C-alpha cells in the first residue's frame, strides 16, 4: 500500500552531512535508483497521484527531475519538456535567475513547445528553499502554461519552500 511504498523510499534515501557545503545535509535521491523495489514504488506513487489530475504536460527540472519525468510520461501517455540550466537548450528560450539552498543559477525553457493553457505539472527530486521551483513556475507562466501542481519526492519542510510558490505542492518524504 501507499504507506509501505513511502517507507521504502524513506529507507532508500541516504543523507550526507556537510555536502556540498558545510551545514547542508544532502538528501541523495540516487539511493532509490540503486534499489529496484524502491524505484518501482516511487514510480507507482507518482503515477497513482497524477492519474486523476488530467495533466497535458510534464516538465522536469535540471538535472534530477529528468530522471523522474520521462518514466511517468511513458505511463501517462503525455509529453515531457525539460527546464535546463542556462546555455544548454537550443532555439527560442526564455530565462529566469534564482537562488537555491546552496547557490544560484539561471533556468531556461524552450517556450515555443508549451501550448497555451496546457495543464502542467513540474517534477523534481527535492524541494528545499523553493527557489528552483519558483523560477520554473515563472518560466511556465511566461510561456502560457497553467501550472497545476509541483511534485517532488523529497521536501525539506523546515525551509518552507512551499509557502513561496502559490501553487499546490505534493511530496512523499519530508525532513525538517
Ligand atoms: C537541487 C535539487 C533541486 C534544487 C532544490 O538541484 O535537485 O532542483 O536543488 O533547491 P531549492 O528548492 O533551494 O531551489 P541542483 O541545483 O543542486 O542541481 P542538479 O540537479 O543539477 O544537481
Ligand atoms: N537541493 C537543495 N538542497 C538539497 C539537499 N539538502 N539535498 C539534496 N538536494 C538539495
The ipTM estimated for the assembled molecules is: 0.98
Grid coordinates belonging to 102: 546552496
Q: Whose CA is nearest to atom 3 of ligand 1?
A: 126
- Which of 28, 68, 102 most suits a substitution to test ligand 2, by most atoms within 8 Å of the C-beta? 102
What topology does CATH give the domain 2-175?
Answer: Rossmann fold (3.40.50)
Q: Whose CA is nearest to atom 4 of ligand 2?
A: 26
Name the packing angle between helices 2-12 and 36-50 (round to 10°): 130
Is residue 40 part of the annotated active site? The answer reads: no
Q: Return per-residue pLDDT of the chain as tens, 176 residues.
A: 999 999 999 999 999 999 999 999 999 999 999 999 999 999 999 999 999 999 999 999 999 999 999 999 999 999 999 999 999 999 999 999 999 999 999 999 999 999 999 999 999 999 999 999 999 999 999 999 999 999 999 999 999 999 999 999 999 999 99
Q: Distances from the Cα of 172 to the Cαs of 27, 59, 95, 100, 102, in angstroms? A: 13, 18, 29, 21, 22
Amino acid at each position: 500500500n501507499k504507506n509501505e511504498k513511502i517507507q521504502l523510499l524513506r529507507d532508500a534515501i541516504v543523507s550526507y552531512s556537510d555536502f556540498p557545503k558545510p551545514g547542508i545535509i544532502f538528501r541523495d535521491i540516487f539511493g532509490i535508483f540503486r534499489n529496484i523495489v524502491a524505484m518501482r514504488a516511487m514510480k507507482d506513487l507518482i503515477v497513482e497521484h497524477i492519474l486523476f489530475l488530467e495533466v497535458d504536460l510534464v516538465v522536469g527540472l535540471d538535472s534530477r527531475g529528468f530522471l523522474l519525468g520521462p518514466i511517468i510520461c511513458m505511463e501517462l501517455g503525455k509529453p515531457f519538456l525539460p527546464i535546463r540550466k542556462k546555455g544548454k537548450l537550443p532555439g527560442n528560450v526564455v530565462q529566469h535567475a534564482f537562488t537555491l539552498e546552496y547557490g544560484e543559477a539561471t533556468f531556461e525553457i524552450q517556450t515555443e513547445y508549451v501550448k497555451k493553457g496546457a495543464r502542467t505539472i513540474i517534477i523534481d527530486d527535492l524541494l528545499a528553499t523553493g527557489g528552483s521551483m519558483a523560477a520554473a513556475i515563472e518560466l511556465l507562466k511566461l510561456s502560457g502554461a497553467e501550472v497545476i501542481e509541483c511534485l517532488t519526492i523529497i521536501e525539506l519542510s523546515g525551509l518552507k519552500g512551499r509557502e513561496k510558490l502559490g501553487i499546490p505542492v505534493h511530496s512523499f518524504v519530508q525532513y525538517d
